[in-house]
């Protein structure tokens, strides 16, 4: 199952994939393909067969839901940045590492790419008790790790009790399943069956319980050596032959700053109607490219098979599509969110020093100041000039594709410099004869805005924000920096003023963002808590959001949950710890040689990678 809520500096600002209009009914999401913005690009619809099982030689295989393909060939994609940081799925905190982990380690459950329902994957079936507090998941019999050992419930119980709930690696999932102060009780029923018991009915639990599973016989000795050893286990220097996994693909080669090569797992548990073991393709190659412009050049030269198309490049791609060997697909507004965030941290570190300069603390924690920045930001200019119109302004914490979107807030407001100036004046800010903004104590208003270097669209937005705020007399020092340095500033030292970045999203489950919005969440970026902080005190509206997170997770009725999550979006809209910018359309260009390709708004372009095949 896909991981949510992880920090991601998206390789292209257009990220995952969801269409503009969703409605929910008994757990099924109905996708309206007619409401995709009119770009003249394909938005294909396809009916999927249910997930079936076929038993061969005692192995309970999962049946493919696509037409029969043929073996051979490879698919080449790309990623921006420095490449993966780890090959340990439970340690992963970045998008590239997580993408690779999803290919190498399978999950118990997954999300149907068309309906959004939770469906079996490594599991053959799952059951939920009438009181919604007991979940029973049964593995398929005969599944194998890549070293030949059978996958059993011992692996499931170990993964949950000894890795996830024990706090090893990235604790986002553990934080998300803390229910009324208690974690799930996980125990083995028999060789293939695992039981999960929770304290109270918890609406998001089924989407979290189906996470990736670790081989106990490999990871148990690692866990015994402690957290520090676990954190470094399966680093990028590992010998690919030493990785024992379960997914459709296995790591074959990693060349730093160049490429990641994965090869097909010959003993995968998915077969087609002719009993051929999938995947069909021999290799899946991820090229590590320096920036978005280099990525586009590699696609045009034929080195890449798939690329996310930026809005500014869309006319060029549409013109070439008719005479080239690729096709464009429109998957609607991205499920991720892009925003600028203020550092609201007013605490001192273990050495008694403030994380943020006290002068800047006063600015950033002034709601009039934050609102002035919001109204000075020209989202429409970004949509037109950066995304070339293939986007829509964003104002809410839920993406435009979310079934929980607060529609009353979705239209937001226009840029209004005069209103911004009025707000600043209320808080005692003033401009001098040269138009430079000062606070009421006479301090010049100047601060740094960071983003990750190489993201050309994000860098363009940063330049525009710098210009927008200059109209208020604010001096912004825009500083694109290397990815790891930026992560360190936010997650370790809190040494930053404002940042332009993005987070992944889950259009079906707001609780996936708990680690961002919960006051003690691992990704509570705008007001991070650290173990040795001094004099911590919750902001009033932080406490309100904490309460809403708990209420929303414990409510099972969709309509009632919708009201609850409307409130959290309203608070964030009013308090503005994040100022959301725009939601681009997710448009991909894919080589015609790739068959069995059925992109969906929920699943994206490669949701059925193991079913794809090459036909030149």
Angstrom distances, CA of residue 425 to CA of 284, 371, 418, 428, 469: 57, 12, 11, 5, 15
Q: How far apart are CA 196 and CA 522, in angstroms?
A: 24
Whether residue 71 lies inside any domain: the answer is no
Inter-helix orientation angle 558-575/540-554, to 10°: 160
Q: Domain for residue 52, yes or no?
A: no
Q: What is the pLDDT of residue 38?
A: 38
Residue 365 belongs to domain with CATH number: 3.10.105.10
Whether 469 and 376 have beta carbons less than 8 Å apart is answered as yes
In a domain, 520, yes or no: yes
Name the token pair of 234.
């399966």
Pairing outcome for strands 498-503 and 475-481: unpaired
Residue 8 in domain: no
Q: What is the pLDDT of residue 43?
A: 47
Q: Is 339 helix (H, G, I), strand (E, B) or coil?
A: strand
CA angle 203, 204, 205 (to 5 degrees): 95
Residue 7 lies in a domain: no
Q: Are 376 and 579 in contact (CB under 8 A)?
A: no
Domain annotation covers residue 385: yes
Name the nearest CA neighbour of 514 among 559, 450, 565, 470: 565
Taking 70 as the pLDDT cut, the residues of the chain under it are: 1-48
For residue 553, the enclosing domain spans: 337-585
Closest CA to 269 of 206, 189, 213: 213
Residue 534 burial (CB count, 10 A): 13
Structural domain contains residue 380: yes
Position of tokens 């949701």? 607
**Which three-class secondary structure state does DSSP give residue 359?**
helix
Our measurement of the distance from residue 533's CA atom to the centroid of its chain's CA atoms, rounded to an integer in Å, reads: 28
Q: Count of domains in the chain?
A: 1
pLDDT at 350: 82
Indicate whether 367 belongs to any domain. Answer: yes
Cα–Cα distance measured from residue 248 to residue 250, given in angstroms and rounded to the nearest whole number: 7
CB atoms within 10 A of CB 407: 9
Per DSSP, the residues of 12-81 read SSS-S---S-EEEETTEEEE-GGGS---S-B------PPP-EEEETTEEEEEP-S-------EEEEEEES
Number of C-beta neighbours around residue 239 at 10 A:
7
What's residue 45's pLDDT? Answer: 57
Rounded-to-10 torsion of CA 368, 371, 372, 378: 180
What is residue 48's predicted lDDT score, i.e. its pLDDT?
Answer: 66
Largest CA distance in the chain: 84
């Amino acid at each position: 199952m896909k991981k949510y809520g992880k920090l991601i500096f998206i390789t292209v600002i257009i990220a995952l994939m969801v269409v503009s209009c969703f409605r929910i009914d008994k757990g099924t999401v109905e996708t309206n393909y007619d409401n995709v913005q009119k770009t003249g690009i394909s938005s294909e619809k396809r009916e999927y067969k249910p997930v079936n099982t076929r038993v061969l030689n005692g192995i309970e295989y999962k049946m493919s839901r696509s037409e029969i393909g043929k073996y051979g060939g490879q698919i080449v994609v790309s990623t921006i940045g420095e490449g993966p940081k780890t090959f340990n799925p439970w340690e992963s905190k970045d998008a590239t590492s997580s993408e690779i982990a999803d290919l190498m380690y399978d999950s118990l459950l997954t999300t149907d790419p068309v309906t959004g329902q939770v469906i079996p994957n490594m599991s053959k079936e799952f059951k939920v008790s009438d009181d919604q507090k007991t979940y029973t998941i049964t593995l398929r019999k005969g599944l194998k790790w890549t070293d030949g050992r059978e996958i059993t419930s011992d692996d499931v119980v170990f993964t949950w009790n000894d890795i996830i709930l024990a706090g090893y690696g990235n604790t986002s999932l553990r934080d998300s399943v803390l229910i009324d102060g208690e974690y799930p009780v996980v125990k083995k029923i028999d060789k293939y069956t695992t039981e999960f018991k929770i304290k109270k009915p918890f609406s998001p639990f089924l989407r979290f319980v189906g996470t990736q599973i670790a081989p106990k016989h490999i990871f148990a000795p690692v866990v015994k050596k402690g957290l520090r050893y676990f954190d470094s286990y399966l680093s990028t220097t590992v010998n690919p032959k030493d990785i024992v996994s379960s997914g459709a693909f296995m790591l074959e080669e990693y060349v730093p700053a160049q490429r990641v090569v994965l090869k097909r797992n010959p003993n995968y548990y998915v077969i087609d109607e002719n009993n051929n073991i999938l995947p069909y393709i021999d290799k899946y190659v991820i090229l590590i490219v320096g920036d978005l412009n280099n990525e586009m050049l590699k696609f045009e030269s034929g080195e890449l098979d798939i690329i996310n198309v930026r809005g500014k490049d869309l006319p060029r791609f549409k013109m070439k599509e008719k005479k080239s060997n690729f096709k464009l697909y429109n998957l609607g507004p991205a499920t991720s969110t892009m925003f600028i965030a203020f550092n609201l941290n007013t605490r001192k570190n273990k050495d008694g020093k403030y994380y943020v300069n006290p002068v800047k603390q006063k600015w950033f924690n002034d709601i009039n100041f934050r609102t002035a920045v919001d109204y000075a930001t020209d989202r429409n200019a970004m949509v037109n000039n950066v995304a070339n119109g293939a986007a829509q302004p964003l104002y809410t914490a839920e993406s435009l594709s979310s079934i929980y979107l607060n529609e009353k807030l979705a239209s937001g407001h226009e840029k209004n410099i005069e209103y911004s100036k009025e707000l600043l004046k209320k808080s005692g800010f003033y401009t001098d004869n040269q138009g430079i903004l000062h606070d009421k104590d006479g301090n010049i208003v100047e601060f740094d805005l960071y983003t990750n270097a190489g993201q050309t669209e994000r860098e363009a937005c940063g330049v525009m924000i710098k210009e927008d705020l200059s109209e208020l007399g604010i001096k912004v020092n825009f500083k694109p920096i290397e990815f790891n340095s930026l992560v360190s500033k936010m997650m370790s030292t809190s040494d930053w003023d404002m940042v332009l970045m993005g987070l992944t999203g889950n259009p079906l489950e707001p609780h996936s963002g708990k680690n961002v919005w919960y006051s003690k969440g691992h990704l509570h970026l705008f007001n991070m808590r650290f173990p040795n902080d001094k004099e911590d005190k919750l902001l009033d509206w932080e406490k309100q959001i904490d309460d809403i997170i708990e209420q929303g997770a414990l409510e099972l009725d969709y309509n009632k949950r919708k009201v609850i999550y409307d409130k959290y979006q309203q608070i964030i809209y009013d308090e503005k710890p994040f100022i959301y910018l725009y939601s681009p359309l997710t448009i991909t260009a894919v080589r015609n040689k790739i068959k069995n390709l059925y992109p969906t708004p929920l699943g994206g372009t490669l949701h059925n990678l193991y079913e794809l095949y090459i036909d030149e």
